[in-house]
Chain A
Amino acid sequence: MNATAAAKAETFDCRAAFAETLVELAGADPRIVAVCNDSVGSSNLIQFLKTFPDRLVNVGIAEQDMIGVAAGLANGGFLPFVCGAAPFLTGRGLEQIKVDVAYNGYPVVLCGMSPGMAYGELGPTHHSIEDLSWLRAIDGLAIVVPADPPQTRAAVRWAANAATPAYLRIGRTKVPSVTPDESDAFAFGRADVLRQGSALTIVATGALVNRALDAAETLAGKGLEARVINVSTIKPLDEATIIAAARETGAIITAEEATVEGGLGAAVAETIVRNAPVPMRILGVKGFAPTGSATFLLDHFGLSRDGIVAAALELKGR
């Protein structure tokens, strides 16, 4: 096993990186408060609560109130990080996200924890596959999906610094690090080309980025050099990097732990159809998921090395 493979074998939950960074930043920035819906444990806020007991506002199980309260805290000069399970934060509080945060322009950082199908067997009620589609439609709301802990840490720093309406999608699915250079893990609005290639491009986000890299390795063995792009900022999309990939590789596959309708795939399609139309395949979740663990479900929907490889071969007529 070489060094890269050994590093890849170790996997991490992005929530820990999120929570540690938030505590660290809150120590230096008294504006930072955490707001949650009885999710101190599931949002990994136990250390935050111990360190800053007054600055953790737990409103109970009340997502509409939670987001409105955060907007009020922002009105009062604070910088709230709202932490809740992604399905309830975004679904239950959607109008509050639109109006209280985005339309008001209040600097509220919405942190959707355990998104996608992270809650596996708990089923579609607890899956958050619609969040990217819903939130992409809201003007003025930045959408960031870190792919690993280094990106998560950097994204939280960016959010604290930017103080702008934002959604951070913080994964629970354990992922290996995909960041080549930890000193430059994330830049807002920048998509990162993690692997060069000219036969096709795999555009992935979040937990699908490491699977895309695995698929590219398998494809290389079959004589197809795939470019791999990590889109950690879904909105605004790094259009230049996507357009260049379309022009230079002539085929695009997108992969996300979210519905195929309206998320990363749609964002990429909207861009290339205007600028450099090329054949595309959109990989994601189709319909409400059946019962199964998060890993099972990712495989079930073809959101795996093998699924991406199969889509690539089909797209290239091989």
Chain B
Amino acid sequence: MPVTSANSGNGTMLPPLPMTMGADERRKRLEAIAGQIRRSVVQMISRAKAGHVGGDLSATDPLATLFFAVLRVDPHAPNDPKRDRFILSKGHCSAALYSTLALRGFFPTEQLETFMQPLAALNGHPNRRKVPGVEANTGPLGHGLPIGVGSAIASSLSGSNWRTFVVLGDGELQEGSNWEAAMCAGHRGLDTLTAIVDRNRLQQGARTEETNRLEPLADKWRAFGWDAVECDGHDHGALFDIFTAPRRGKPVCVIARTTKGKGVSFIEDRVEWHHKVPSSEQVELALKELAQ
């Protein structure tokens, strides 16, 4: 059954931040929103006894920045043809996406409690046909960027010039389909397209560089015809500035340097927390750390 598709009666939704807001204030507000998303992720995974907590916590800050300060989306009109598109290619980090969408008002935050419950709309991987705000059903890696490229071509063909943002895992870049898509976007100079690599340097089984080396990563994107920018992936101000910078005729890749499990000391940068489920004591501790 689909989740409720509007935000009526939902007291916990947060409005987007106005573009005119001062940089310091925006940074402070985004930090608070990211904290809410992180606490929600931990609670969802604790309740479901499943999920991908490490990647959820590393991708949270780009999500918060995009949905609350950058994307032109309307929870009341989630299919507006001219909306900006956001695609979570690392679909396993659905808890962070669902928390963000609910807080932004796409559906009531109460529904987050149904995460991965039998017959729930909130599947372990997102389903656009059941969850408003989801643009693509992802899960198998290497699918989001090609779809983002198609969306960017559609944006240009239709003359609407919406923008398309795709969040990718770093381990995910070992899938060849990403590089097919990167080549295509570079060739076409799709400057409404932004790829954000959640560069937490860990994949499911080990460090990316031990498994199948990605570096020099920025050079790879540049060689494919992209502008590549590296930044602290937990710095909302830096992310906002890059996401809103004027385009220069090329797609942009933001290599967001992140820490897997960001915000929870015993989860941070530890490979076993890719999809480990915290115990009740660990949940309590995590929520305490995330409240600070």
Are A65 and B151 in contact, CB atoms less than 8 angstroms apart? no
User: Quick one: which of B81, B149, B154 contacts A68, CB cutoff 8 A?
Assistant: B149
In whole angstroms, what is the CA distance A69 to B176 when docked? Answer: 15
Say yes or no: A78-B157 contact (C-beta < 8 A), given A65-B180, A68-B149, A99-B143.
Answer: yes
**Is B105 on the interface with A (CB-CB < 8 A)?**
no
Contact of A100 among B129, B147, B154, B187 (CB under 8 A): B147
B184 touches A72 (CB 8 A): no
Contact of A55 with B157 in the complex, beta carbons under 8 Å: yes
Considering only residues 142-191 of chain B, those with a C-beta below 8 Å from chain A are 142-143, 145-155, 157-158, 162, 164, 176-177, 180-181, 183-184, 187
- In the bound complex, CA of A104 to CA of B180 (Å): 21
Q: A77 near B129 (CB under 8 angstroms)? A: no
A60 to B81, CA, bound (A): 28
CA distance A147 to B176 in the complex (A): 36
Interface residues of B in 66-90 (CB under 8 A from A): 81, 85
Question: 1/0 contact trace for B128-139 toward A, CB 8 Å?
Answer: 110000011111
Q: Quick one: closest B residue to A105, CB to CB?
A: B129
Contact A76 B136 (CB under 8 A): no
Structural contact, A75 and B136, CB atoms closer than 8 A:
yes
Taking the nearest CB of chain B, how far is it from the CB of A63, in angstroms?
8
CB neighbors of B among A52-91 (8 A): 54-55, 57, 59-60, 62, 64-78, 80
A62:B148 contact, CB within 8 angstroms: no
Q: B140 at interface (Cβ–Cβ under 8 A)?
A: yes
Q: By DSSP majority rule, is chain B's interface helix, strand, loop, or mixed?
A: helix
Grouping DSSP codes into helix (H, G, I), strand (E, B) and loop, the A interface class, with mixed when no group exceeds half, is helix
CB–CB A59/B136 < 8 A: no
In the complex, which residues 231-254 of chain A have their Cβ closer than 8 Å to any Cβ of chain B?
none
Minimum CB–CB distance from A57 to chain B (whole Å) comes to 6
Cα-based distance from A69 to B150 in the complex (angstroms)? 4
Task: Give the complex CA separation of A159 and B171 in angstroms.
Answer: 38
* B149 neighbours in A (Cβ, 8 Å): 65, 68-69, 72
Is there an interface contact between A64 and B157, defined as CB atoms closer than 8 Å? Answer: no
Among B147, B151, B154, B177, the one with the most A-chain Cβ atoms within 10 Å of its Cβ is B147
Q: Of B128, B148, B184, which one neighbours A59 at CB under 8 angstroms?
A: B184
Kindly state whether residue A304 has any CB partner on chain B within 8 Å: no
The answer on a CB contact under 8 Å between A96 and B143 is yes
Q: How far is the CB of B157 from chain A (nearest CB, A)?
A: 6
Asked if A33 is an interface residue, CB under 8 A from chain B, the answer is yes
A24 CB-CB contact with B under 8 Å: no
Interchain nearest-CB distance for A242 vs B (Å):
31
**A-B interface pairs (CB < 8 A), number:** 110
CB distance from A287 to the nearest CB of B (A): 29
B81 / chain A contacts, CB cutoff of 8 Å: 76-77
Q: Enumerate chain B residues within 8 angstroms of A69, measured Cβ to Cβ.
A: 146-147, 149-150, 153, 181, 184
Query: What size tier do the contact residues of chain A reach?
Result: 20 to 34
Instruction: List, in ascending order, chain B residues with CB within 8 A of A72's CB.
Output: 146-154, 164
Instruction: From known contacts A65-B146, A72-B147, A104-B128, infer whether A77 and B137 are also in contact, taking CB-CB under 8 Å.
Output: no
Q: Are B146 and A75 in contact (CB under 8 A)?
A: no
Q: B140 contacts which chain A residues (CB < 8 A)?
A: 95, 99
Hey, which chain B residues are within 8 Å of A75, CB to CB?
85, 135-136, 147, 150-151, 154
Given contacts A95-B140, A96-B143, A99-B143, contact A73 B150 (CB under 8 A): yes
Contact of B151 among A57, A60, A76, A95 (CB under 8 A): A76
Asked if A103 CB lies within 8 Å of chain B CBs, one says: yes
Whether A54 touches B157, Cβ cut-off 8 Å, given contacts A69-B184, A75-B85, A96-B143, is: yes
A99 vs B153: C-alpha distance when bound (angstroms): 20
Closest to A108 in B: B150
State A70–B158 Cα separation when bound (angstroms): 15
A65: contacting residue among B135, B154, B164, B184, CB under 8 A: B184
Q: How far is the CB of A102 from chain B (nearest CB, A)?
A: 10
Q: Mark B118-133, 1 if CB is under 8 A from A, else 0.
A: 0000000001110000
A75 to B149, CA, bound (A): 11
Contacts of B153 in A (CB 8 A): 57, 69, 72-73, 76
3 nearest CB pairs, A to B: A72-B150, A76-B154, A68-B146
Listed by A's residue number, 24 A-B pairs whose Cβ atoms lie within 8 Å are A54-B157, A55-B157, A57-B153, A59-B184, A64-B146, A65-B146, A67-B146, A68-B146, A68-B149, A68-B177, A68-B181, A69-B150, A72-B147, A72-B148, A72-B153, A73-B151, A75-B147, A75-B150, A75-B151, A76-B154, A77-B81, A77-B158, A95-B143, A104-B128
- On A, residues with C-beta under 8 Å from B are 33, 54-55, 57, 59-60, 62, 64-78, 80, 95-96, 99-100, 103-105
